[in-house]
Amino acid sequence: MEIADQRVVSIHYTLTNAQGEVLDSSQGNDPLAYLHGGGNIIPGLEKALLGKKAGDKLTVNVAPAEGYGERNDALIQQVPRRAFQGVKDIEPGMSFQAQGPQGPMHVRVTRVAGDMVTVDGNHPLAGENLNFDVEVTDVRAATAEEMEHGHVHGAGGHHH
């Protein structure tokens, strides 16, 4: 069965950056299961997998526009430390949910200097060229419930 919209796809993958550093991998774990066409994985990888079938292996290079987007300097802001009420020690690398112009968003602390904290609302992989080594392990038809919910249920997917 070929990968197409409304199919549940299971893959093993290793993600590396342009320098060859491993950023993420499913090796040693269950394959990642996702609903194809449901926006559950980045667009560039989803497009490259279209038409593939179980047993296929491929290398996919994804540009930022088809991955986590380009870096947007407007999403980097300095905010006063007092904006972090109830948080005693603020350090770079910490993540918080903040209210952005389009609603809630995740931000990472990148710098703390005196009473000012620099936060970055970009995805950590924004602006990065991503390299995936992928092996398709299974392709099956999605259930009506999976299609309705927009994600995979059961092994490797979402559990309610």
User: What does the domain layout of the chain look like in residue ranges?
Assistant: 7-67+125-142, 73-120
- pLDDT tens, 66-116? 999 999 999 999 999 998 888 889 999 999 988 777 788 899 999 999 999
SS3 content of the chain, % helix, strand, coil (to 5): 15, 40, 45
Both tokens assigned to 80: 């006063």
101 vs 37 pLDDT, higher one: 37
Q: In the CATH scheme, what is the code of domain 7-67+125-142?
A: 3.10.50.40
Sorting pLDDT into bands at 50, 70 and 90, what band is 156? low
For residue 98, what pLDDT is reported? 83
Closest CA to 11 of 44, 42, 34: 34
pLDDT for res 30: 94
The set of residues, in sequence order, having a beta carbon less than 8 Å from that of 137 and lying 6+ positions away, is: 10, 11, 12, 31, 54
Give me the pLDDT at residue 157, please: 54
Q: What is the pLDDT of residues 40-55, one digit of tens each?
A: 999 999 999 999 999 9
Distances (CA, A) of 6 to 74, 149, 150: 36, 11, 9
Residue 153 identity (one-letter amino acid): H
pLDDT at 99: 79
pLDDT value at position 76? Answer: 94
Contact 110, 116 (CB under 8 A): no
* Residues 46/75, Cβ–Cβ less than 8 Å: no
Q: What average pLDDT does the structure give for the chain?
A: 92
Taking a C-beta distance cutoff of 8 angstroms, is the pair 6, 139 a contact? no
Same fold, 7-67+125-142 and 73-120: no
Cα–Cα distances in Å, from 79 out to 72, 85, 107, 113, 119? 17, 12, 12, 11, 7
Domain 73-120, CATH 2.60.40.10 — does that match?
A: no
